[in-house]
Structures are given as C-alpha cells and as structure tokens.
Structure 1
Amino acid sequence: MSFNPDAVEAIAFDSYGTLVDVTAVAEPLAAHVDRPDLVATVWRERSLSYAMVANAIEEYDSFYDLNRRALRYALETAGVDVAEDEREEVLSTYHELPVFDDVHGGMERLGDAGYDCYVVSNGNEAMLESLVEHADLDDLVAETVSADEVERFKPESDLYRHAADRIGTQPEEIAFVGAGWWDVPGAIHAGMQGVWIDRQETLWGPYEVDPDLTVESVHEVADELEA
C-alpha cells in the first residue's frame, strides 16, 4: 500500500523518539555509568518490553512506572548501584526531553495546510502534559491521547482505534507518524496510514507490511500533503 494524501484528514504523532529525543537521557546517566549511550538503549528497550508483556498478560501500570523499573534494570545490568533519589532524578529527564529541530516548523506547516495534529502515546497523562509544555507544542497539538485512557499500550490496536474515536474520524483517514519500528506497524494494523520517520537510519522490522511512507523529517510529511 502506498501513501494516499487525499484520504488524510488528521495527523497523529507518536511522542518519545518522534517529537522528542529520548537519547538525551544519556547525559544524566553519564554521572553514574561509563557507557551512558548503551545504558540508555537498554533502558529504552526494557521499558518497551515491559509494555508489550503487560499487554500480553493484561496488566497495566503507567508508562512512567514502567520506565522507573526499566531504569533500575538497566543500571543493575551495567553493574552500578544508584540510590533511589538519584534514579528518580535521572527518570525525571523524561519531563524535559529536547524537541527535534524539524518538529515545530513541520507541524506549523501542517497546521497552515489545514491539518489538526494529535499526539498518541504510551506516555501517561502527566508525561504528555510536561512534554507538550516543555517542547512548546501547546499551539501545535490539538489534543494528546494517552495509553492511560484504555490501559493498553501500543502496538496493540486498542489505543490507535481509541485515538481515531477521539479525533472523530476513521483510522484510514489518519496519517500516523512514528519513529518506532514497532509503532508504525501497529498503526497500520489498526487501519491508519503509517508514516515512518527514520532520522537515524534504523532498520525496519521483519514484517510483510512496509510503511506507507518513509521520511526523515516532519517537513517531508508536510511536503507530501501540500503537493
């Protein structure tokens, strides 16, 4: 399937890794570990694994709580003992992650072209509130949709379809923009048009389905919809 811009009524963005840069957590980790980039990767992958297992066994804790446990796992795997208050300080970085350079300008173009932009995220409501505020996205994001609302994490279809209900349109009329190799296939499976934003030349998963569109910036999404 190829991208159909004529069918798009709204744009939904993932949050972490798509709008804001999760690799920035390496900076506070550097005070505690020798290889902060590697530990940051283990932390991120473990939190996603926890979310996917939670879906499978039908348990739910907020994504912030899962991140807290994943951070402890990553630090213990690195062989360091970090006090709880120091771990909480590192964890709080998620409230102040830097926004990618292309986000503001690209979303402004989408808004000017008549598209409402939404955030659909595994993040809990408090995380999304701080993300929007810190990244100065208040005027660019119509609404945020959190996993808290359905107590299911992406890539389960429930959250994407709930987002479509909140937005008030059919899934196929939503272009879902995400950086996650696991996230965009979930959106496609739920019926959305999947736009993979691949800023770091990562690998697409071993799926039969391909992204409807692959871009390197939000500006390229605007290019497709303005054409």
Structure 2
Amino acid sequence: MQIDPSRIESVVVDSYSTLVDVESSRKALKAHTPEATALARVWQLRTREYAMVGNEINVYRPAVDRHRLALKHALDVFDVDLTDDEIEEVLSVYHELDVFDDVRGGLETIRDAGYDIHILSNGDPALLDSLIDHTNLADIITSVISADDIHLYKPARELYEYTAERIGVPLGNLVHVTASWSDVNGALSAGMQGVWLNRKGRAWEPYGREPDLIIESFHELAESLTTENTER
C-alpha cells in the first residue's frame, strides 16, 4: 500500500487519538473506580456512537455535550456515582490528554517539505483551541476545521467535502491521516487518499475499504511524502 504524493497538495490530520491519546482520559477516573480503563472505553465508544447516530437522526450536539452525556452513561453502566462538579473535573481531562511523541517532529518535517497541514476534527472550537495550545502546534497548523462548522460529524461525506472547500484544494489532492478506522473509510469514500495511523498495533478491520497507507508514526508519513515526491 502506498499513497501517491504527486497528487497531494495538502495534508489533513485528525485530532483525538491521532495527535493526543484519548485513552489517557482514564487517568481522571482512577480516583473514582478501580475499573477506570473499562469505563473510559465505554465512555469513548458511546461518544462516537452519539456522533454517528446524531448524523442519521439530525440531532447535533457539540462535542463537549456528547462527552458529558457519554460519560454519564458510562458511569451508570459501572454504577459509579459522581457529583456534577466531579463530572466536570473528569471532563476537563480533554484539555490535557497525553500528546504522542512523534507529533511535533513528524508534522514539522511534513510542513518543512512544503505541505500545509490542516486539522479536521469532531471536536468543537473550544476543545480544539485548547488542543492546539496543549500540543504546541500553532506554528505548524494552517487551519482547524470542526464538525461544529456544519453540524455534521465524521464520517459524514459532507464534512470531508466542506474541508476541501475550506482549504481550496480538490478532494483528490488531499490526504487524510487518522487513527480512526471509520474516519479513514469516510475520507476514502469522499475521494481523499486515506492513511491509517496505527498507534496501537491493531489489525485493520476487514470491513469497508483498505487504507492507501498504514503507518505507525507521523515520521513514516513524512518519509513517504519526502522520499517519493522529491520534485516538490
């Protein structure tokens, strides 16, 4: 599997699980339950389900609201009773999730090779402002595009189309890099090249399309772009 750098004008990257480790949210739950890891997993999955179901039933909620509702669901599943203040304290972890080690250096190399880098996220603007500050990427990221702009979440095709319009580059000349299986498929279906950032060493799920490239870090993407597109 290989991307085609000759067609790529700009790079689009996902945010959560791609730049920062959503699984590190379990740290905020450890003081409240010995099942923090399992509870965090239910929280994350339900948050994504709300986004996908919301697209289909035309019910949009900003990301922070989805996170709050999904957390309350997960707490109920595990019979953990938290006050409203404690719930807000747990939610605040989304402003300080662990940043993956390769992010700054890998994206810097991609930028220095001549590519604009844009974030496309299901996060809302307040969360994404915090993410940029926390990851120290303000000087690298050209623009941040949020599902909140059009009230549709990935993997809705319209959000990828909107992204291409915002950037001013045809879908076929964009590559989307994400740790999310559904996001890869959404990007591919819309007409982008799709790169799966396999951070957890998992097998690609045999449903939908195959990614154009599978990598383990942004450094690998930088190498693919710079070595195969030497005339850029």
Deviates more, 1:103-112 or 1:89-98: 89-98
Partner of 1:136: 136
1:196 partner amino acid = W
Q: Distance in 2 between matches of 1:175 and 1:100?
A: 20
Q: Distance in 2 between matches of 1:207 and 1:164?
A: 25
2:149 partner amino acid = E
Q: Distance in 2 between matches of 1:208 and 1:44?
A: 22
1:79 partner amino acid = D
Per-residue Cα deviation, 1:102-136 (whole angstroms, up to 9, x for no partner): 00000000011000111000000111000001111
Q: Distance in 2 between matches of 1:203 and 1:46?
A: 22
| CA shift for structure 1 position 2 | 4.4
Q: Distance in 2 between matches of 1:67 and 1:44?
A: 8
1:5 aligns with 2:8: no
Q: Secondary structure at the match of 1:3?
A: coil
1:109 aligns with 2:101: no
Per-residue Cα deviation, 1:126-176 (whole angstroms, up to 9, x for no partner): 110000011111011111000011100000111111111111101111110
| CA shift for structure 1 position 76 | 1.0
Partner of 2:230: none
Gaps (5+ residues) in structure 2?
228-232
| CA shift for structure 1 position 202 | 2.2
Partner of 2:158: 158
| CA shift for structure 1 position 208 | 4.1
1:219 aligns with 2:214: no
Give aligned pairs, total: 227
Partner of 1:149: 149
2:180 partner amino acid = G
| CA shift for structure 1 position 24 | 1.1
1:71 partner amino acid = L
1:201 aligns with 2:195: no
| Contact 1:182/1:205 (<8 A) preserved | no
1:173 aligns with 2:164: no
| Contact 1:181/1:203 (<8 A) preserved | no
| Contact 1:14/1:179 (<8 A) preserved | yes
| CA shift for structure 1 position 223 | 0.4
| CA shift for structure 1 position 209 | 1.3
| Contact 1:177/1:184 (<8 A) preserved | yes
2:21 partner amino acid = D
Runs (4+) of structure 1 exceeding 6 A deviation are none
1:120 aligns with 2:133: no
Q: Distance in 2 between matches of 1:18 and 1:133?
A: 16
Q: Secondary structure at the match of 1:182?
A: helix
| Contact 2:185/2:208 (<8 A) preserved | no
Partner of 1:185: 185
Q: Distance in 1 between matches of 2:20 and 2:178?
A: 11
Q: Please report the TM-score for the alignment, with normalisation by the length of structure 1.
A: 0.98
| Contact 2:10/2:173 (<8 A) preserved | yes
Q: Distance in 2 between matches of 1:210 and 1:128?
A: 29
User: Structure 1 residues 208, 72: closer, same or farther in 2, change over 3 A?
Assistant: closer
Q: Distance in 1 between matches of 2:114 and 2:190?
A: 24
| Contact 2:175/2:192 (<8 A) preserved | yes
Percent identity, aligned pairs only, is 46
| CA shift for structure 1 position 59 | 1.1
1:133 partner amino acid = D
Q: Distance in 2 between matches of 1:6 and 1:116?
A: 15
